[in-house]
Structure 1
Amino acid sequence: MVLKHIADYRLPEHAEIEFVLSPEQKLTENGFLILHKLTEAAKAADLIIGFSDFWVNYVCVLAAKLAQKPVLLSVRNQLSRELERFDLPAINRELVHFCYQHADKIVCVSDAVKADLVQAFAIPAAKIQRLPNPVDLQKFAQNHLPPQGLEPFFAAGPVILVIARLVKQKNLAFIVRLFAKLKADARLCIVGKGPEYESLLALTEHLGIAGKVCFPGYRDDIPALLQHAALLLTASHYEGQPNAVLEAMAAGTLVVAPKIPAIRELITSGYNGLLFEKADEADAIRCIEQALANAGHTRNLVNNAGNTVTPHDSHHASLALAEVIESIIGKTK
């Protein structure tokens, strides 16, 4: 069951989907309608799974309890940091504490997310299981042609690739500013959509680098983009476990990223990627220049990254999730 369809999100094929609301209806104005429909649907289910943080997970817990069914929640980011975006962070903090502790089980993508749930919201650690993000290793290991429509841009010089929602969390203005100071003759490709687009475009024009930066929006050819980029760059303030980083490691593309907890779980600087001090422009530039100038060293890092990402294979992740689901359902029968 899907609460509503958002245009930028693709729905899985061959899935039986029921929409609770029309695209025009707002979640926050239809809380009781959503709760009623979810509760009725829950009565025929063996398990309720909440797969979106905050409001969606709140209503999943409530519906599950009303229907007397078990509930599994998925947490994909550090919620204490996400709260900073809200108008009423205090009430959401209380709701996370209240609702999430009533889940039968919580799966999260990293140790950083688990620690955040325990420390910021007093969720019992025994209720939380780390289940890392999956990657289709076979798809990203295949050889791909240059990204369609971007061939001239990628042929003009080494491309620094960014894959992210264009939101403040991703710290993209920092990336644009440091790119303007690079000595290397590179290009910057920022893939994604979001509310920061206009301000980022204006910043490239202000810095005189608009001709070397492209914003292709949402793309579904991520493997091709990664394979033909010189490196993947991220500068996020915080993360749960970034899919783009895992996918770059699987595609054989060097990752340059900040030293934040979720990244450090995946990358050891100088072994399977390059890390810079968070928000340190000079250190980030040093890492990028090093990556672009030393192909031999980069090759070693990429090989090690490929070994690191192997346990994230989507097949293994699916089996792990299935085990969690079976363990919850088994307790109720």
Structure 2
Amino acid sequence: MRILHLVLSPRMSGAEILVRDLALYQQHGGEAVAVAALMPAHDDFAPLRAQLAAAGVACSFPKRALRPLARLWYLHGVMRRWRPDIVFAHATIPAFYARALPTRVPVVYVMHSAVNDFQRDLFRWTERLLSRRARAVVGVAQSNVRDYLAEVGPHPRLTVIPNGVDTSRFGLPATAPSHATSLLLQIGRYDAVKNQLHTVRAFQATLQQVPQARLALYGVIEDSVYYCKVRALVAELGLIDKVSINGPCDDVPALLAQASVFAMPSASEAHSIAFLEALASGIPVVASAIPAFAFAEGHDAVQLVDCADSAAYARALVRALAQPRARRPLEGLTLHDTARRYQAIAHEVLGVA
């Protein structure tokens, strides 16, 4: 089977991490796999592209930004060269372009968004027009399916496939991080929905009880204004020597192995890859009490709290710093589980027994 994964712009972010993992898994399983994009790759995607290339996964990304019609023509060229049996279009805009092409190649639309894309009139009406051009519509979370039904309507193949994590890359380190380090870690793009400002404020309160603690932030700068607010707050609170503000990192397993606590105060998520990776690593986790994280409630060393309450958030961080790592069940949430479900969708769409 020849599989094409289509993304908007390759970068170090959740949907693209899933695409990388799926492409590698499928390629190693004997499929012929390619990854294409409608926009140029971000610099931070270079390590992931190297991993794909080393495994024999073809990559096709435009070298410069393209206008809408040029994007369509570029995708047409990719389809002609690659001749896929099936296209998985990850996120709404790539799915629009894939279904706008006059092709008989089946398209599976994969919804990754943590927000309701179809509240935008243009997106809602475009999706209603193109809906049946998708041979299947997949949501990474039940909220995606709920929004689709409410805003677009029913589809004959509408299903949920949760994201999965490659557990072979994670696990409890041979030696736990020293309590002397007390390193708090947050990974996520710099954007108001990720709430790095909440973490910085809670960290200041945490220092009153754990003065040796440090905080490390990593992520793509999606909102430069918000990123500047994070830097400004760190300076205002006198935490420059205690907080490191970094771009994205391609070695997440190493970050999680070195850290003492993982923080994820997101206001909303669909089905976060970063959260799954933290669970797989065994690191104590403090996260928002939002529906996307509810499945982890009750797991060892996982606290779900109101992260907008700085005092409550700080208390949870202090408790987490005293907790050991834990082995957690991830049945149904491994990369193998996810890849098997994508394969089942492909076989169903293509009529393969």
| Normalised TM-score (structure 1) | 0.81
Deviation at 1:126, TM superposition (A): 5.0
CA shift digits 1:89-118 (9 cap, x unpaired): 321232234334531112222222222322
**Take 1:175 and 1:327, find their aligned partners in 2: how far apart are those partners?**
44
Match of 1:184 among 170, 193, 209: 209
After TM superposition, the structure 1 stretch with the greater mean CA deviation from structure 2, 233-242 or 188-197, is 188-197
CA shift digits 1:267-320 (9 cap, x unpaired): 115756100125232322222222224x3xx55xx33xx11x243222232222
Give the partner amino acid of 2:145: K
> Does 2:105 align with 1:69?
yes
Total equivalences in the alignment: 306
> Does 2:269 align with 1:247?
no
Unpaired stretches in structure 2, ≥5 consecutive residues:
1-35
Give the partner amino acid of 1:184: Q
CA contact (8 A) 2:172 2:282 kept: no
Give the partner amino acid of 2:340: L
**Take 2:301 and 2:181, find their aligned partners in 1: how far apart are those partners?**
24
> Does 2:352 align with 1:321?
no
User: What SS class does the counterpart of residue 279 from structure 1 fall into?
Assistant: coil
> Does 2:61 align with 1:26?
no
CA shift digits 1:180-200 (9 cap, x unpaired): 222332211111230343331
Matches within 5 A, 1:87-166: 89-119=120-150, 121-124=151-154, 126-141=156-171, 143=173, 157-166=181-190
**Take 1:168 and 1:101, find their aligned partners in 2: how far apart are those partners?**
34
Runs of 4+ in structure 1 deviating by more than 6 angstroms, as ranges, are none
Kindly, what percent of the aligned residue pairs are identical? 23
User: What SS class does the counterpart of residue 276 from structure 2 fall into?
Assistant: helix
Structure with greater proportional strand content: 2
**Take 2:232 and 2:142, find their aligned partners in 1: how far apart are those partners?**
37
CA contact (8 A) 2:164 2:334 kept: yes
CA contact (8 A) 1:20 1:34 kept: no
CA contact (8 A) 1:131 1:320 kept: yes
RMSD over aligned CA atoms reads: 2.8
**Take 1:259 and 1:38, find their aligned partners in 2: how far apart are those partners?**
42
Match of 1:2 among 17, 37, 41: 37
Match of 2:251 among 216, 221, 245: 221
User: What SS class does the counterpart of residue 58 from structure 2 fall into?
Assistant: coil
> Does 2:211 align with 1:173?
no
CA contact (8 A) 2:92 2:111 kept: no
User: What SS class does the counterpart of residue 30 from structure 1 fall into?
Assistant: helix
CA contact (8 A) 1:133 1:317 kept: yes
CA contact (8 A) 1:61 1:71 kept: yes
Distance 1:145 1:56, change over 3 A: farther
CA shift digits 1:6-39 (9 cap, x unpaired): 32223222445363632x2234463442464356
Distance 1:272 1:103, change over 3 A: farther
Distance 1:329 1:157, change over 3 A: same
Q: Please name the residue that 1:56 is paired with.
A: 94
| Normalised TM-score (structure 2) | 0.77
Deviation at 1:124, TM superposition (A): 1.8
